[in-house]
Structure 1
Amino acid sequence: LISTKKYTIIMVKQKGTPPKITRYISNIISPGTNFEYQTESSENNIVSFIVDENQGIYSVGYSAIDVTTGKTIINEMHSTRDDKTYALDELFNLLQTYNTAEIIVTLDNNKIDKEWISNYLELNQYHTSFNSSRCKIDYQNELFARVYQINSFLSAIEYLDLERHPYTTESLAILIEFIIEHDELIIAKMNRPIFLGASRYLYLGNNALEQLGVISRDSSELTLLRLIDKTSTAFGKRLLKERLLSPIIDKEILEARYDLAEKLIERSDKYDTHLKNIYDLERISRRLKLQKLHPMELTYISMSLYAIAKLLKDCKQDSIEYDSKLDDKIEEFRKYLIDTFDLNICSKFRIEQIDDNIFRYGVYPNIDTLLQNQKDEIGKLEQVITHIDSIVEAKQIKNSSKSGYADIGYLESEGFSINLTKNRFTMIEKELKESFVTIEDTHHFFKDFHYKRLKNSVKINSKLFEQITQTYESNQVKLVALVKERYIKSLDELDKRFSHLLNEIISFVANIDVAISNAKCAKKMQLTRPIIVEGNGYEAIGLRHPIIEANENSGIYVPNDIYLGEGIKTEHNHITRNASDGNAVNGVLLYGINSSGKSSLMKSIGLSVILAQAGFFVPAVEMKFSMYDKLFTRIVSKDNLYKGLSTFSVEMMELKNIFNRAGTNSLILGDEISQGTETESGLAIVSGAILKLLDIDAHFIFATHLHQLKNIEQLQNIKELIFLHLGVKYDESSDRLIYNRELQLGMGSSLYGLEFAKSLHMDEFFLKNAYTIRESIIGNKSELKT
């Protein structure tokens, strides 16, 4: 109900005993504060953001907390006079990148249109509430100091380095306050907030992740994320998603990721067994901090540590570097668990179900004393049973070896009793009632006991049993209370001693898990290690589209070679280089019929860049690139429908964003720009866009049908701009279109629409008239006249 249907559930508990019972709200569980019942392995962020607007220029403060891991992500974005919606676009990207379960929206002034903001950010897909209360600076400092355990002569805001980000600090304070109102226990001991900034990440503009198919709102759609995720641990899965959706521009980090994956390619299988036996230690660590860890989860930690110890052994054999002290630290952690807890008993209990001792003998003497008292009380009952058994045995047939004829019973409403089958009781009733048993120097006569005849048995009770029950139950209440008290203290001790180690383990194992996933994909999908080079360029040999290739219904994907920029030494004489006569290639105009593969080729380039700059291998025979700092897409997709804008409006908005934000190290992928307007304006807009992007020295590929571009005076004799096409022709003999998926020089034929219509066996009358009209338009006969 909480995760799937986005319900908010109010938990009501009661205290006291009848008739004086009071009920109170213990906590409120909403999609974002779902700590106890979260089953999905992906992150579960609750988000708060503030939007401010001044003369159409927006500023945004963003905060996200995953209460299940304690991770806090924050950012602050500001638009400019020339790019007024930049902050909102960045906010949209954050909501797409980091899995969002619930949103609290605060608008800085009443002039901001709530409905427009909701549509622009597509908030209808989230559980969203609007907030009107604000948080003053003093209150923010107080909250942060408490939640992030700050004890410094600096203010909490200064300590977190957020004094220059007022929108961020207030959005975070509002978020923390919201969580406290729901359940103040789950917000304690949070990790220090991570300020995202923009300097180390590849900027992904115009919803590039969704337009390229890296992620999708359709859960049934095969995405790049789903395709390359071969991780075995929950926290490894989260790290892989974080890396893929947040590519970086740090060569040193990327090379380290490549190195590790390359080292594991031939060894990936042996690590799988270990990784699959590791539980979600990231969430377990968070539960430990909050003293909400269930005893059964201690067994999860122990089993995970055992698997990790084996993993480290393999790492050592494969010369994978890690802290040499980690082995001893893990062994110390395991030994502490085994020496402190009876893990077999722990495995039976959630924290609220504890009704037995879960500690090893000797850890807590006062618990051992209570347990001994319990055993002594049960021992009294066993003495009674021994007496009854002796009478039964005396009455049995000679040489019978049967023993244990009576047994102890317990009902919460009645206490302890001793049960005997009706036949055996009948056999010994006279002798039993004439006997007695001595316990602690006191004689207890069976003639004074109570006998309740049931259908097949007899239940025996007595005042002795009532005393035993009273003592036992009193001790049991003390025992359970003491075990729970000591358990909570033990969790605190575990956290103090081993929380840093857990964080170290989580980081190391997640990194190995993602590298193993990368290695598996490299083997299965024939991916190769990208090569980061100096200069300003991109070259791919035998580039493929991984998602289309993985779709069994798509057939064999035909690879292509592509070269952009300059300064990359190449040993390949492929078509892009031929088209440019060896000059720098800043722009490519790509022609071809809609089904020829233009969009797929462009997307494959974008996907390869994202993969490479996230530290993953790429679907190409070889790929060399100098890192891009910005990637923009303008690919026809359904996302514009959500914003309530026309196709042409969205095209122009996204083109404007590209002009405002692109630079020298930018890559722009555009699919049929200006298709939403008439030909003359379309030609002018595309020509102007080409000239603008050439002027800022960006790299771009535009798929287009506008063959008239070759006649635009301003575009002639530009060496950095080349024309390529993906050919198609109608084969009369086989009555079908033949697609040549490989790039070819030039624009190709400008006449192919009717040929496609003909291959569909459309009405002859329609085709005849269409050909006649086309001939009259172009002033000569059709190139493919039948």
Structure 2
Amino acid sequence: NIASLIIEQTNGIYSVGYSAIDVSTGKTMVNEIHSTSEDKTFALDEVFTLLQTYQTSEVLLTFADEKIDKEWVLSYFEIPGNYHYSFNRCRLRIAYQNELFARIYHIRSFLSPIEYLDLERYPYASESLALLCDFIIEHDPSLIEKMYKPRFLTADRFVYLGNNALEQLGIISRNSNEKSLLSLIDQTSTAIGKRVLKERLLNPICDLKLLNERYDLSEKLLEKYQTFENLLKQIYDLERILRRIKLKKLHPFELNYLFTSLESVLAILHEEQKEGIAVDRSMVDETADFIHHLSHTFDLDLCARVSKNQISENFFYEGIYPAIDMLVHEQKMQLYKVETIAKHINSLFGNSGSEYAAVGYLESEGYFITMTKNRYALIEEELHKSFITVGDHHYFFKDFTIKKLKNSVKITSTLFEEISSAYIANQVKMIALVKKRYEESLEEIEERYALQLEQIISHIGVLDVAISNAKCAKLYRYTRPELLEKSKNPFFEAVGLRHPIIESREENGIYIPNDLFLGKEPEAYDGDHITLQAAESDEVRGVLLYGINSSGKSSLMKATGIAVIMAQAGFFVPATQLRFTMFDKLFTRIVSRDNLYKGLSTFAIEMLELKNIFNRANRQSLILGDEICHGTETESALAIVASAVMRLHDLGAFFIFATHLHQLTGLDEIKKLDAIIFLHLGVQYDEVHDTLIYNRKLEPGSGSSLYGLEFAKSLHMDTTFIQQAYELRKKMSGSYSELELLKKQKRSKYNKSMFLTKCALCNKPVEDVHHIKAQMLSDTEGNIDHFHQNHRYNLIPLCKEHHKKVHEGKIFISGFVMSEEGLKLHFSEKG
């Protein structure tokens, strides 16, 4: 995308006009955002989100006020290093904008072009679009041709995502090597579907009817997506093909891509009809007509080897363009003359049927006949006596020019020169006419089928994303969420909530799900969530979440935000059950490298983002905060976090704050807030194995305040001692010999990521692999609850002796648990 921004600033209050074009599809978007005296940077934050959501490669910046700090704006938008950018000093008058839009969009209306584009109430958006068009015309005028009417990005329909929530929650990532939610759930088969999926995920909505339509379609395809998936894989990027048709840049060989795609589309439409999925009958008929038009107009086999700038032959079927047919016929007649002469020469060799004389052609010489010297010697005398009749003229071979080469003989004549000249003249005319008629054919395709193609593109995009959603539901055990309209008494209920990215990495072990409830307990509600157990009233609006580092606080908090975005984007979610009234705003305050670009201290950023949350949050908002005020000293942090909790409580917003500030539990001001609860993710000290065990489950209260370094100090262990112990353990564990084993041993047949090095309970060689949760507990697809039976951490490599003891009940293996040293196997022995 190329974007254009026009930025106005009055007394520190910003207004921004935004426009962008996807040059590959011709689609344009516009927006106009205004800040307020209470929220002066709102417009800048919105534009930052737009630049991230709609992948931007180049930005044109126009500053309406010379006093605006350009470098500060670049830093705020995080433009350095990410985009190409340029400054513009010109402003465009209304009259010029109207004239420009009239020419670009071919507007013929009693409305002014600005009114026709619905931009009369958005002067900044209108000027931004005009500046963008001017900029593109200056660099590549062809890109501006056939542009779509701009789409206004209305904020009311979408969920507001504050404070760079998309990146902070891992929905997208700037690091291509880092797994994001987008990369995880994108199981689409087409470029069209890939774009639709990304746009949906990055733009969650508040339209319940549309969301249910998305869920319904995915649900219908749960058991049938593979049939459609195979057909979708044969569809090329029709959106870009349509754009190239409109610009008359489509190569003839690309007609095969279009034809193949349309055949697959037609097969998909028929399959949908069989499965009872609603399909517009006219789309089926028009797609079949389009296929017929292509297959009966173009010789697609010939087209397959022709590019637009190298057209050298006719690829239209006979009867499509009579003028071309006439030239082709003339070509054939000229070539027939030369072939007739060659045939006559071959007849002199008797009835052998062999073609010793062959027709040749060189651009520098034209047509000629060639044969070997030996063959020529056999007929030389007879050839000189003979003649050939071509048309009304007789031509004697004694008048032909015979040129003897090293191993062959080349025969030429003035007749051949005449034939060559006529052939070349016709060839030039034919190529010119084919090029002209090809462009006309592209115009005809656009006129007859552009709207049809746009409908197909939309249909395939929707279907592909629905199939991707269904596939994820099967692969990752996602479920359909239940969303309700926004109300005065919002609620959020998650059962078995999981973090999709973390659980996708087998090295993290089997993910431990959690339940969460926010809001007012409904009448006759039979749920028994830990959040309600911890509450002193029937309502929970805020959670203060405690836990040692790496206990899973941030993961749980992010899982909540991710589930909301997935659900309100129309995707199934990683939970056993998810029900909530739709949110219209979601804010994050999570420590992340992204804020470093702003040029402010961590604490300053935190305060700015908290201020934005206070100005923008409401009762339909969800706020997720991680270690707020970790950038300042404890006393100030305690006061600020407590004040923030009270402010959000008064606003009626839902929030989850992960914190280490245990002193909050003793503040009278916090104790008075019945709708605020304290939860922690439990940690246990295993005395036998001398390690911390993370159980990953929510428990009431704030938990122990002694952990981390404080926990180590309580055991009177100094850091030197601990470091030495780690080094000694590493040396004694035999890890180096295990590495040697790793190179030699084979992988498990159940899971290729498991190397069979040694028994998990001793150092003997592996002979068996044991399933911790038995295979008999799995369903027909091999899943046990939310994980697969062959998950890396549901498998244990054992020697024969220990495997026998497990089955005899002498050893009980409970599974892997997360400890301060990573995943640990927990088991017990009898007697």
- CA positional deviation for 1:765: 6.0
User: Do the aligned residues in 1 keep the contact of 2:165 with 2:588 (CA within 8 Å)?
Assistant: yes
Counterpart check, 1:441 vs 2:392: yes
User: Do the aligned residues in 1 keep the contact of 2:537 with 2:674 (CA within 8 Å)?
Assistant: no
| Cα distance in 2, alignment partners of residues 110 and 155 from structure 1 | 31
AA paired with 2:423? Y
- CA positional deviation for 1:764: 4.9
AA paired with 2:110? F
Query: Which residue number corresponds to residue 407 of structure 1?
Result: 358
AA paired with 1:367? I
- 1:223 is aligned, of 180, 197, 205, to 180
For residues 78 and 380 of structure 1, do their structure 2 counterparts lie closer, same or farther at Cα, with a shift above 3 Å needed? same
| Cα distance in 1, alignment partners of residues 575 and 166 from structure 2 | 20
User: Do the aligned residues in 1 keep the contact of 2:494 with 2:516 (CA within 8 Å)?
Assistant: yes
Counterpart check, 1:428 vs 2:384: no
- 1:296 is aligned, of 237, 241, 253, to 253
User: Do the aligned residues in 2 keep the contact of 1:725 with 1:743 (CA within 8 Å)?
Assistant: yes
| Cα distance in 2, alignment partners of residues 455 and 308 from structure 1 | 59
- CA positional deviation for 1:529: 0.2
Stretch of structure 1 that moved more, 659-668 or 484-493? 484-493
Give RMSD over aligned pairs. 1.8
AA paired with 1:105? L
- 2:484 is aligned, of 505, 508, 533, to 533
Counterpart check, 1:562 vs 2:516: yes
3-state SS of paired residue (2:38): coil
Query: Which residue number corresponds to residue 633 of structure 1?
Result: 588
Matches within 5 A, 1:289-368: 289-368=246-325
For residues 454 and 539 of structure 1, do their structure 2 counterparts lie closer, same or farther at Cα, with a shift above 3 Å needed? farther
AA paired with 2:601? S
| Cα distance in 1, alignment partners of residues 537 and 513 from structure 2 | 22
- CA positional deviation for 1:422: 3.0
- 2:652 is aligned, of 692, 697, 700, to 697
Query: Which residue number corresponds to residue 520 of structure 1?
Result: 471
| Cα distance in 2, alignment partners of residues 427 and 514 from structure 1 | 73
3-state SS of paired residue (1:303): helix
| Cα distance in 1, alignment partners of residues 411 and 537 from structure 2 | 102
| Cα distance in 2, alignment partners of residues 199 and 273 from structure 1 | 38
Query: Which residue number corresponds to residue 678 of structure 1?
Result: 633
| Cα distance in 2, alignment partners of residues 229 and 429 from structure 1 | 74
User: Do the aligned residues in 2 keep the contact of 1:737 with 1:756 (CA within 8 Å)?
Assistant: no
| Cα distance in 1, alignment partners of residues 364 and 688 from structure 2 | 91
Counterpart check, 1:168 vs 2:122: no
User: Do the aligned residues in 2 keep the contact of 1:568 with 1:624 (CA within 8 Å)?
Assistant: no
3-state SS of paired residue (1:603): helix
| Cα distance in 2, alignment partners of residues 421 and 583 from structure 1 | 103
Number of equivalent positions: 718
| Cα distance in 2, alignment partners of residues 377 and 714 from structure 1 | 101
| Cα distance in 1, alignment partners of residues 309 and 182 from structure 2 | 38
Query: Which residue number corresponds to residue 713 of structure 1?
Result: 668
Counterpart check, 1:502 vs 2:453: yes
User: Do the aligned residues in 2 keep the contact of 1:48 with 1:105 (CA within 8 Å)?
Assistant: yes
- 2:93 is aligned, of 113, 127, 136, to 136
AA paired with 1:718? L
3-state SS of paired residue (2:622): strand
User: Do the aligned residues in 2 keep the contact of 1:538 with 1:568 (CA within 8 Å)?
Assistant: no
| Cα distance in 2, alignment partners of residues 761 and 273 from structure 1 | 61
| Cα distance in 2, alignment partners of residues 553 and 237 from structure 1 | 28
User: Do the aligned residues in 2 keep the contact of 1:565 with 1:586 (CA within 8 Å)?
Assistant: yes
| Cα distance in 1, alignment partners of residues 183 and 441 from structure 2 | 40
| Cα distance in 2, alignment partners of residues 162 and 676 from structure 1 | 44
- CA positional deviation for 1:767: 10
Q: Deviations over 1:531-582 (max 9, x none)?
A: 0135401111000000011122221111000011125575421211111156
Query: Which residue number corresponds to residue 738 of structure 1?
Result: 693
- CA positional deviation for 1:348: 1.7
Matches within 5 A, 1:568-579: 570-579=525-534
- 1:651 is aligned, of 591, 600, 606, to 606
Counterpart check, 1:623 vs 2:574: no
User: Do the aligned residues in 2 keep the contact of 1:47 with 1:175 (CA within 8 Å)?
Assistant: yes
| Cα distance in 2, alignment partners of residues 228 and 603 from structure 1 | 16
- CA positional deviation for 1:756: 6.1
Query: Which residue number corresponds to residue 566 of structure 2?
Result: 611
For residues 431 and 116 of structure 1, do their structure 2 counterparts lie closer, same or farther at Cα, with a shift above 3 Å needed? same
Stretch of structure 1 that moved more, 512-521 or 428-437? 428-437
Query: Which residue number corresponds to residue 57 of structure 2?
Result: 101
User: Do the aligned residues in 1 keep the contact of 2:208 with 2:484 (CA within 8 Å)?
Assistant: no
User: Do the aligned residues in 1 keep the contact of 2:536 with 2:675 (CA within 8 Å)?
Assistant: no
- CA positional deviation for 1:448: 2.4
Query: Which residue number corresponds to residue 153 of structure 1?
Result: 110
User: Do the aligned residues in 1 keep the contact of 2:549 with 2:708 (CA within 8 Å)?
Assistant: no
Q: Percent identical across equivalent pairs?
A: 58
Matches within 5 A, 1:446-465: 446-465=397-416
3-state SS of paired residue (1:49): strand
Q: Deviations over 1:96-148 (max 9, x none)?
A: 00011211111112111111111111111101111112211111111111222
Q: Deviations over 1:344-373 (max 9, x none)?
A: 212222211111112111111111110000
When normalised by structure 2's length, the TM-score is 0.84
User: Do the aligned residues in 1 keep the contact of 2:370 with 2:411 (CA within 8 Å)?
Assistant: yes
| Cα distance in 1, alignment partners of residues 51 and 406 from structure 2 | 67
- 1:546 is aligned, of 485, 493, 500, to 500
Stretch of structure 1 that moved more, 450-459 or 208-217? 450-459
AA paired with 1:548? I
Matches within 5 A, 1:756-767: 757=712, 763-764=719-720
3-state SS of paired residue (1:418): strand
Query: Which residue number corresponds to residue 553 of structure 2?
Result: 598
- CA positional deviation for 1:306: 0.8
| Cα distance in 2, alignment partners of residues 767 and 442 from structure 1 | 106
Query: Which residue number corresponds to residue 28 of structure 1?
Result: none
User: Do the aligned residues in 2 keep the contact of 1:216 with 1:223 (CA within 8 Å)?
Assistant: yes
AA paired with 2:72? W
3-state SS of paired residue (1:388): helix
3-state SS of paired residue (2:444): helix
Stretch of structure 1 that moved more, 94-103 or 292-301? 292-301
| Cα distance in 2, alignment partners of residues 550 and 389 from structure 1 | 74
